[in-house]
Structure 1
């Protein structure tokens, strides 16, 4: 699932970049909007997997709060700090009038750490918030395990309410209408754990009821596929209603934080999980012998791909600008851009992961002595 989801993340970013160059309401604009929405399940799916892995690992294990915080927060905080600094330095290489003064850099760095405003580091910030609250959430789930589906249902309804509030009120909130601190919180709501609370609760529920849910999904694979087809049709229908009926802007219509994305992303996540279960049963077959290592490779370096791919996309955009392609020829670059970012970032993550200590920034724990045990930090997210 990790290998597929990170590819979907890159597709979203590539499609959004090309979509921004199209004329509003043109056929190309609408087509790229629809494709972008189809891949927009990836953010929620990432959160869902994070909750699933974390609860599956710790739910039946005794642990202390301080030992958990010390271990988990250190694994995510180091890449967060390192990539915040690396991204600032990277953007300084191409932004005009970038201030390299120590005071300006310190201010930019501090603000970036607080807001996760460097590319897509919001995910790491939300993960750290989850780690802080995780011991309390575990206690709650354990106490309410017999009413787990009620917990999930309430969480789902709350998530829908948050998305309705976001789409109808928060998207239109202007500075000065509310206190500054509240406007700041609203402005950065896409990196606040409450915005994604359902996905962590759903991941916890799946971890607790893993075997029974797995058996049901395995027996009803066709139902999951039909549900996914229905969901994407409903998603696209919602787009046309919002864009042409409610006259929403392009950005509002494809926004990932809207009500329809919750059931859609949940169904697609179930579909991917169903495919993953099927893959686990057949991956050792002879005719898949060459494919399995590739999928395992990209799954293993998915955390590094997530962190490195914005740099790869930037350089490909520079190539795109120099080619001056138009029309269909320009659109052909979309799959090439996605593959380039995926593969190059994966290879870069793998190579960085071989460097002792530096490897921590891509989720690989290594030391100077290669004979020592190595554990994958990417499992933390």
Structure 2
């Protein structure tokens, strides 16, 4: 059998990652403000908008992981060597940083909460059942659950790949199967097995992963429908683009309004299932819209800005891991009661939580040990090098 042609490298995907990590930092930078700030303040709706509109952040990263994994591996032979290489590449580069930061954040929070008494007591924190339980579900600090989810998807992905390669017709049905699996887990299985932290399980996000995987499998057929350019335009495609963007904006604004009313009134205006569906459409359409925007940015924007966004995307895992440290320290600053200073302080939290981790991770890239903390990082190519960087998730 002739080997399938290698699929083209997609640098635009790092721009999608850049938007994803900006959304993550925006959520965390505004979360405490949304809860604690005066709900009747003139700018309070703006903070709610920034926080809730950005809720696509983690789902888009999961969507992108499904896209990239199936884009890279669907046409490859399914052999023991391929699967071994798959796990070797991914597990090594994500588990070690996860373990390092799990120990770091858990130790730091114990010190903040209880102070330091003696070495034996401090070591005891890490030998307790509480630590092991939190480690397994990514709860040693609030944001690490995402890494656990990605590890779970890495475990599941080869089995999903095998299924769609063994039964190709399954590929066409991945989206609705993913949606049904997600709903079955959230509203049935999670309750049956009394899983309190359902956000720490991959099945809670299966719809997003499956939607990305679907696009990854059929990318070569779908790319002309995704790219928004004059040469790709036709009445059918323009209609599809309008429907996509209308769904994205409608569900995004609906979710913002529903959460705003919740913060004001203390209750949601609709059932949890309908709210879940709105959120799912918001997040999946966001994934496709961000890919479209990234194509346009890559072609139309200044090259310096494009390279900066690509670099942010390529270092997004490291930024994700360490930005909470910056926010924690920054929130210790007392800004008093002046509203203008408060709003400047709020904006500064987002800017610094993006820039400081980005700078720190970038400075670590030349050192061989950087993978222990942040996994693979982009480095300057040697003169004459033509090899393209990997787009693997």
TM-score (norm 2): 0.79
Could you tell me whether the CA contact under 8 Å between 1:22 and 1:28 is conserved in 2? no
Show the counterpart of 2:252: 232
Equivalents in 2 of 1:376, 1:73: separation in Å?
A: 22
Show the counterpart of 1:201: 210
1:126 and 2:141 matched: no
SS in 1 for 2:277: coil
1:106 and 2:118 matched: no
SS in 2 for 1:101: helix
Could you tell me whether the CA contact under 8 Å between 1:357 and 1:365 is conserved in 2? no
Could you tell me whether the CA contact under 8 Å between 1:238 and 1:260 is conserved in 2? no
Assess, with a 3 A threshold, how the Cα gap between structure 1 residues 263 and 315 changes in structure 2: closer, same or farther: same
Equivalents in 2 of 1:271, 1:68: separation in Å?
A: 29
Could you tell me whether the CA contact under 8 Å between 2:67 and 2:213 is conserved in 1? yes
Assess, with a 3 A threshold, how the Cα gap between structure 1 residues 137 and 272 changes in structure 2: closer, same or farther: same
Could you tell me whether the CA contact under 8 Å between 1:365 and 1:376 is conserved in 2? no
Could you tell me whether the CA contact under 8 Å between 2:72 and 2:392 is conserved in 1? no
Cα offset, 1:282, TM superposition: 3.0
Among candidates 4, 22, 32, match of residue 17 of structure 1: 32
Among candidates 54, 63, 85, match of residue 39 of structure 1: 54
1:290 and 2:304 matched: yes
Could you tell me whether the CA contact under 8 Å between 1:217 and 1:224 is conserved in 2? no
Cα offset, 1:78, TM superposition: 0.8
Show the counterpart of 1:349: 361
Kindly report the root-mean-square deviation, in angstroms, between the aligned alpha carbons of the 2 structures.
3.5
Show the counterpart of 1:217: 226
Equivalents in 2 of 1:300, 1:312: separation in Å?
A: 20
SS in 2 for 1:259: helix
Cα offset, 1:120, TM superposition: 1.1
Equivalents in 1 of 2:37, 2:377: separation in Å?
A: 43
Residue ranges of structure 2 left out of the alignment (5+ in a row): 1-15, 228-232
Among candidates 145, 152, 168, match of residue 145 of structure 1: 168
Cα offset, 1:29, TM superposition: 4.9
SS in 1 for 2:248: helix
Could you tell me whether the CA contact under 8 Å between 1:130 and 1:193 is conserved in 2? yes
Could you tell me whether the CA contact under 8 Å between 1:353 and 1:363 is conserved in 2? no
Cα offset, 1:352, TM superposition: 2.2
Could you tell me whether the CA contact under 8 Å between 2:59 and 2:205 is conserved in 1? yes
Among candidates 94, 100, 103, match of residue 82 of structure 1: 100
Assess, with a 3 A threshold, how the Cα gap between structure 1 residues 26 and 157 changes in structure 2: closer, same or farther: farther
Could you tell me whether the CA contact under 8 Å between 2:38 and 2:44 is conserved in 1? yes
Equivalents in 2 of 1:274, 1:190: separation in Å?
A: 28
Deviations 1:69-108 (A, max 9, x none): 2332222111111111121233244323466432223225
Equivalents in 1 of 2:84, 2:197: separation in Å?
A: 28
1:191-340 equivalences under 5 Å are 191-218=200-227, 219=233, 220=238, 221-239=241-259, 247-248=267-268, 258-283=276-301, 288-319=302-333, 322-340=334-352
Equivalents in 1 of 2:226, 2:376: separation in Å?
A: 33
Show the counterpart of 1:52: 67
Aligned residues, how many? Answer: 354
Equivalents in 2 of 1:133, 1:376: separation in Å?
A: 27
Cα offset, 1:130, TM superposition: 1.2
Equivalents in 1 of 2:135, 2:391: separation in Å?
A: 22
Could you tell me whether the CA contact under 8 Å between 2:259 and 2:268 is conserved in 1? no
